[in-house]
Amino acid sequence: MKLLSSDLLAMKGATPISMLTAYTCPVARCVETAGVAVILVGDTVGMVEMGFESTRDVTMEHIEYHVGAVRRGAPNTHIIGDLPYQADKDPDTALVNANRLIAAGADSVKLEGAKVDVIRHLVSHGIPVVGHTGLTPQTAKSFKKVGNTSSEAEKVKQEARKIQQAGAFMLVLEHIPHALAGQITQELLIPTIGIGAGSECDGQVLVINDALGLGVDWPPFSKQFVHISETITKVARDYREEVEGKAFPRNLSQLIGAQGS
């Protein structure tokens, strides 16, 4: 059964919330079959799937396309659509773009930063919103941990409070000190989802390519449960060798013949 924003809100302090990103139909189907609570169609797609240097190159059309693909693969999972860079530059623009993601198949939208006016405007028009503070890649000048100084930590806390007060039902905390994430989680009434923010958050999110080990390198706060890149390379090498040796498709024809006899 698909979880609603109210269901996720009710999970705070009761059931840890599992979240993975997904960008394609077959991967989304696997994630849903595994019972993961939430799928995030993140603007990370630009870097891990499209080869961009930054998430700032991702467009609304990109996110719409991937939300649609993921929805077809995971019809019964709560899907969050990421509002890409500048898609939420003002309340009216954000509402138009949020409605586009909802129409594409998202159940809620996520945006970065304490954009109080934007969040309030979306919520007042019935759009469930997930906030995001700490490291915010769309505007960050580096990918260093945020909140190491007392002034930075206080800023993150203030942003978290503002995002909750504006009406967000959930909050992503990215790459901040674990103790700070724990303090914010204890204070807020909405669930926190950590990515590089420690185990005291109400849930965790991981980029699916990082979990699969699909790529060249990964953030230090991610975990590789397998290394799919190695498997893909081996399959491609085996295929090339069989084609060059004229074993494929001859061996395939022999297999089909044996099965039909």
**For residue 261, is pLDDT > 80?**
no
Query: Within 10 Å of residue 250's Cβ, how many Cβ atoms?
Result: 11
**For residue 186, is pLDDT > 60?**
yes
Give dist(CA 210, CA 193) in Å, integer.
17
- Could you tell me the pTM of the whole model? 0.95
Dihedral sign for Cα atoms in the order 5, 102, 168, 120: negative
Catalytic residue among 174, 230, 241, 244: 174
Give dist(CA 198, CA 93) in Å, integer.
34
User: Which residue ranges form the domains of the chain, and what is each CATH number?
Assistant: 5-226 (3.20.20.60), 229-261 (no CATH)
Contact 222, 205 (CB under 8 A): no
Task: Please classify residue 214 by burial: count the beta carbons closer than 10 Å to its beta carbon, then call 0-12 exposed, 13-18 middle and 19+ buried.
Answer: buried
Give dist(CA 257, CA 90) in Å, integer.
63
Q: Is 242 part of the annotated catalytic residue set?
A: no
Task: Please classify residue 80 by burial: count the beta carbons closer than 10 Å to its beta carbon, then call 0-12 exposed, 13-18 middle and 19+ buried.
Answer: buried
pLDDT tens, 15-43? 999 999 999 999 999 999 999 999 999 99
Give dist(CA 210, CA 97) in Å, integer.
28
Amino acid present at 259 = Q
pLDDT tens, 129-185? 999 999 999 999 888 999 999 999 999 999 999 999 999 999 999 999 999 999 999
Query: Within 10 Å of residue 142's Cβ, how many Cβ atoms?
Result: 7
Q: Is the peptide bond before 249 cis (omega within 30 degrees of 0)?
A: yes
Residue 130 in tokens: 């997930």
Confidence of residue 260 (pLDDT cuts 50, 70, 90): low
Contact 213, 225 (CB under 8 A): yes
Contact 95, 127 (CB under 8 A): yes
